[in-house]
């Protein structure tokens, strides 16, 4: 049985970060809504209570019965979690005289306390709260403070319970990972045996037991998630897996051929379907972004359904759903916010059972599993790419000529990033075809042609993103190459907006 840490989610924006940090300690964890604690699970080694947008004294604040976990497991409360534990045990939580957001330093802490083993003096931590603990219960003891917060951390005197008002999961908390390690490993006693190799071994065994001799169909996108899912399933059930790769005409230049070649090298059974003509007809004259997405989404479902029904005795639909998709699909009250199915509507339409072998993994873990499976590095490190493809990178209506222009410009940009060893420094990149034309001069002749925008961002999870500060020499070279080599373009711009307030994609 895989030992685990349970993270109770009270609605913090950084709850997923807690999960990722614990996973980085080679320890399996699960994030569950605060009111969905899995009772009678013998594999639980400890519990972390996350932050929250609420104040603990609000009538609408999320609350749990601590009796369900108190004294049964080691507990670590973070921010709201720490305030809640103190508050319900008789401590005081009040609005802070001055709100503390951003960097702070632990000016004092108990160096003998197991939670702070290996933590440096005056270490930087990240605060984000408008309330503060002004008094702790009699059976608690303060173990850390900052210049502004007298009780930055505490420990219960008898039970294995700790609380910190800062966020150790955030990158800017310098020794945050060490603090989490002290809790997960030293306090909870986790063995740190969660690894790509152990995941592959256990998942392959589980898939063989789950699927038996049943036939499975999987929709491939060329992206890392669906590709790793396919290789993992292929390892488990071999020829009983059939993959379908649909070319809707909005892929990158020569991507259909390249991806099909990659999948052949991986030994996958793949059916490639070129239906670009169908989609060009359906998209003709459509300019509204959401309308484009719906046309491509529903059209893809129809094509995939047709191809799947050509196969005999298929009982399962496999998808590359990953853990953030599952977390985001439910609010902390358990209400469905959005479907996490990669291909919305397919399971219901096709009456198939759903198989999601990566549903427990974060994106970086998917890549580690891909490497463990021996997949080519260029497939593992491939940038995210929107499902509707270039259709949402062409502002305005879609035509084959516009797609050709964008494919050529995009190919120069992406290949340039690879040639200049910049590709792996960027989270996502692409070219946008703008719905404007501009005056230019080529060979003493006036031109009136299209403008494109280069977009490249850095990020860790796509929730926020900054524009990539690419070298001027590189941008100049790419601009010249696009203008000189792509017929129909005479102006190149670079998008320097961040998310928020902008989005990564333009549509």
Sign of CA dihedral 390, 396, 400, 401: negative
H helix intervals, 383-450: 400-419
Catalytic one among 3, 29, 79, 356? 79
Q: Is 154 within 8 Å of 141 (Cβ atoms)? A: yes
Q: Is 220 within 8 Å of 320 (Cβ atoms)? A: no
Distances in Å between the Cα of 236 and the Cα atoms of 200, 251, 292 are 10, 30, 37
3-state secondary structure 94-137: EEEEEEEEEEEECCEECCCCHHHCCCCCCCEEEEEEEEEEEECC
Q: How far is CA 224 from the centre of its chain?
A: 12
Q: Is 31 within 8 Å of 46 (Cβ atoms)? A: no
How many Å apart are CA 497 and CA 319, to the nearest integer? 33
Q: Which of 300, 304, 359, 297 is nearest to 330 (CA)?
A: 359
For residue 191, with 0-12 CB atoms within 10 Å meaning exposed, 13-18 middle and 19 or more buried, which class applies?
A: exposed
Q: Is 469 within 8 Å of 497 (Cβ atoms)? A: no
Q: Which of 438, 435, 454 is nearest to 446 (CA)?
A: 438
Per the annotation, the verdict on 167 as an active-site residue is yes
Catalytic one among 3, 169, 307, 507? 169
Return phi, psi of residue 201, to 5°: -60, -50
Bond before 478 cis per omega within 30 degrees: no
How many Å apart are CA 244 and CA 221, to the nearest integer? 9
Judging by DSSP bridges, how do beta strands 353-355 and 314-318 pair with one another? parallel
Q: Helices then strands (H, E): number in the chain?
A: 14, 19
How many Å apart are CA 51 and CA 55, to the nearest integer? 10
Structural tokens at position 76: 């670590």
How many Å apart are CA 127 and CA 112, to the nearest integer? 23
Catalytic one among 3, 29, 167, 355? 167
Structural tokens at position 307: 């191809």
Identify the three-state secondary structure at position 243: strand
DSSP state of 229: H
Please, what is the angle between helix 224-237 and helix 363-372, to 10°? 40
Maximum separation of any 2 CA atoms in the chain, in Å: 85
Annotated catalytic residues are 79, 167, 169
């Amino acid at each position: 049985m895989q030992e685990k840490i349970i993270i109770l989610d009270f609605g913090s924006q950084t709850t997923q970060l807690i999960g990722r940090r614990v996973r980085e300690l080679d320890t399996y964890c699960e994030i569950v809504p605060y009111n969905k604690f899995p009772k009678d699970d013998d594999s639980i080694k400890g519990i972390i209570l996350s932050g929250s947008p609420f104040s603990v004294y609000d009538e609408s604040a999320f609350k749990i019965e601590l009796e369900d976990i108190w004294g049964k497991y080691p507990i670590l409360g973070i921010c709201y979690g720490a305030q809640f534990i103190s508050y319900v045990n008789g401590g005081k939580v009040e609005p802070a005289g001055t709100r503390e957001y951003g960097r702070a330093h632990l000016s004092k802490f108990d160096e003998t306390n197991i939670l702070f083993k290996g933590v440096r003096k005056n270490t930087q931590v990240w605060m984000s709260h408008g309330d503060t603990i002004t008094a702790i219960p009699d059976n608690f003891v303060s173990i850390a403070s900052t210049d502004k917060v007298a009780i930055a951390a505490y420990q219960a005197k008898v039970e294995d319970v700790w609380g910190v008002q800062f966020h150790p999961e955030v990158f800017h908390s310098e020794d945050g990972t060490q603090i989490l390690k002290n809790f997960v490993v030293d306090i909870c006693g986790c063995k740190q045996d969660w690894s790509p190799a152990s995941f592959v071994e256990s998942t392959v065994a589980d898939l063989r037991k789950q699927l038996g001799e049943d036939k499975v169909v999987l929709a491939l996108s060329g992206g890392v998630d669906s590709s790793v899912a396919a290789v993992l399933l292929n390892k488990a059930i071999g020829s009983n897996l059939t993959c379908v790769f649909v070319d809707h005409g909005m892929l990158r230049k020569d991507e259909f051929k390249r991806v099909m070649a990659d999948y052949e090298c991986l030994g996958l059974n793949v059916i490639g379907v070129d239906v670009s003509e169908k989609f060009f007809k359906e998209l003709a004259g459509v300019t509204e972004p959401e309308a484009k997405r719906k046309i491509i989404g529903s059209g893809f479902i129809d094509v995939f359904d047709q191809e799947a029904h050509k196969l005999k005795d298929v009982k399962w639909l496999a998808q590359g759903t990953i853990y953030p998709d599952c977390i985001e699909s439910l609010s902390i009250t358990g209400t469905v916010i959005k479907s996490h199915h990669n291909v919305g509507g397919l399971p219901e339409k096709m009456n198939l059972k759903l198989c999601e072998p990566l549903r427990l993994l974060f994106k970086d873990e998917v890549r580690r599993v891909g490497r463990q499976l021996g997949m080519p590095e260029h497939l593992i490190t491939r940038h995210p790419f929107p499902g509707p493809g270039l259709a949402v990178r062409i502002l305005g209506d879609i035509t084959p000529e516009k797609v050709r222009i964008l494919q050529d410009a995009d190919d120069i940009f992406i290949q340039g990033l690879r040639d200049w060893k910049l590709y792996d420094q960027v989270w996502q990149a692409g070219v946008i075809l703008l719905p404007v034309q501009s005056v230019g001069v080529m060979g003493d002749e006036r031109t009136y042609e299209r403008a494109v925008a280069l977009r490249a961002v850095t990020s860790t999870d796509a929730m926020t993103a900054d524009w990539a500060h690419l070298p001027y020499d590189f941008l100049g070279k790419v601009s010249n190459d696009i203008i000189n080599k792509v017929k129909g373009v005479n102006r190149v711009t670079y998008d320097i907006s961040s998310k928020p307030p902008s989005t990564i994609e333009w549509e």
